[in-house]
Structure formats: C-alpha cells, structure tokens
Structure 1
C-alpha cells in the first residue's frame, strides 16, 4: 500500500470510525502519513537502536546495530520498510512527509556514524577508516538485502548481508578490534546483554 495508499477514508474503514472522527484526530492525510512515519521510526529505534546501545562501545555496539537492523528488515520482508518505500514514493516530492522521512533516516545515519567513530576511538577500527564510506556500505547492504529478500525473493539474502558486513569490518578492523569483536558476540536472540 505504501504511504501514498494511506487515506482518512481507508483508515476510517479499517478502524470502524467515521471519516470525520479520523480527520479530527489527524487533521489531514499528510498528518496521517507523518504520524505513521513517526510511529515506524519510534518502533525502529526501540527494536534496533536502543537495544544496541546497551552493548559496549566500539565494534560490539556497531555489530549489534547492524545485526538488529538486518533482523528488522527480515521481519519486514512481507510488509516492507517505510524508510525504503517512502524514499521511492517521496524522493522527488518536496514537503513535510519527505522532510520527516529524510530527518529520520539522517538520524539513523548519524547514529551509525557515531558508532563507527567510537569504534575508531576505541582502537577497534583503523584511525584512517573512512567513516562516511562505512555508513554508505552498511546502508547499501541493507538496501540490497531488502531488494533481494522482498522483491526478488532470493534465498540467502540475509547471509549475504552478514557476509558483506564481515568484509567491511575485516577491511577496517585493527587486531584489537578483531579480538574484542570475537570476545563480545551479539546475542543471537536479539536480547541485550545485561
């Protein structure tokens, strides 16, 4: 359905409310779309970011962020990712919905950027690591994962995304970083370590 498919009338039908009742709550279709994007972002932060920042700074945290992001995409294979579908729908359409989407994706990129910088500062990644390039590569892996798993239905897409992450980390990691990464595996059940 995508964000463009959202409407006051459709939401009224699904919820059993009157159109005027839904309109009174949101005020406009655009506000409804922004509310959906905001709710999606809050859930993304809860499932991906807030659990990952409980991991030790450096590669353990960066790995947790990526692995939880992959897990989130794997859950969304049937429903789709609002960040990705929204980028396609609103890439050339200025306005508040696009602005909200861009702001949320930029916030996530900033969090990744910070995690990579902290990995460099901790000595886990080389001092000459190109932080922006790493963010680009990690985001590119997620876009490819979404495309191959959701659109193409190619088996093994999750493994390929994980392999891409490993190659990126191997390229930039220091011996200390590799040792720390080995000693602090991310729990596979997604639960943060206490």
Structure 2
C-alpha cells in the first residue's frame, strides 16, 4: 500500500525522522531544480534549506496536510523571494515557433506521461537543461518546472505560479515550445556530451 502525504505528515508530526528522510529523498531533486532554475544566485542554497525547514515546521504545526510536493515548491519560491534571490531579470523574447508545436514536430508530446525517446545523441546534460531553463522568462520557467517536472496538476500549481488553473495551458505550451527550441540550439552547438 503506497504511503500517502497524509501518512507522511502524521509521521513527521509524531517526530518520525525517517519520514523526513523519505520526503527528502522523494522531493529534494525537484525542489533543487526549481531553486536553481529560479535563483539568480550561482552559489549557496540557503533559500532551499530555509524552504525545507519551513515546510517541516509547518507540517509539525498542522498547517500542511495535503500535497507535500506542492507545499514544498511553494515554500521554495517564497524563500527565494524573501531573500531577494528570485530572478526577475529581463529575459529575451521567446523563439518564434508559435504557441503550439505542430503534430509532426519531432518534439511534440515530449511532456506526456509516456514521452517519445529523445533523438539519439540529443539528450541534454543537467547543466544544459539548467542553461535552457534560465533562458525562458521567469514565470514560464517556474510553470514548466512545476507542471512538467514536478507533475503537479493545474489546481495544485495555482498558488506557486500565481496563475489560475484555467489560464495555465497556453502559457505552459509557450514554455514547452521555448524549452525545446532552446534545447535544439544547445544540441546544434554541440556543447558537451549528452548522456
């Protein structure tokens, strides 16, 4: 029987350190990606540590009982914003591929639950993924990570991305288009191995 977020919250509330460890193991990677993609700071992770500490404190206080991943990512954004590390620098306009990928585009559907494999030799390294993400305007970048990496449904993403669920789809498509266009540029440059 799978462990639910409610079970995890109850265990953390009882002081079960193993529940905290399990939560870290499950969700730290996506929180770290959101932090690194969103923060203008290139070193240090004080905001990320602060977000984790706040989440655990809020669970123990009974303020968080639902989706823990959504609660964590929301606290990452709040911690970055509080510390002035939330990147609000202007970014270039999005590439001109249109709002939606054509059905025959080789990247179409890459975000699906069962995505098609990346073309051989074209899978970007983690560093390249981060470079590409940081080229996307901040609000779209956060939306892309929250929806497509963290796999949060639109309703759970609302507070994090500050966008109602019924207004997320066009923005998400634009972010996906920008991501794949920028990845194509990285691949074309031949920057480093893709393993």
Scaled to the shorter chain, the TM-score interval is 0.3 to 0.5
Structure with greater helix share of residues: 1
How high is the TM-score relative to the length of structure 1?
0.33
Which one has a bigger Cα radius of gyration?
1
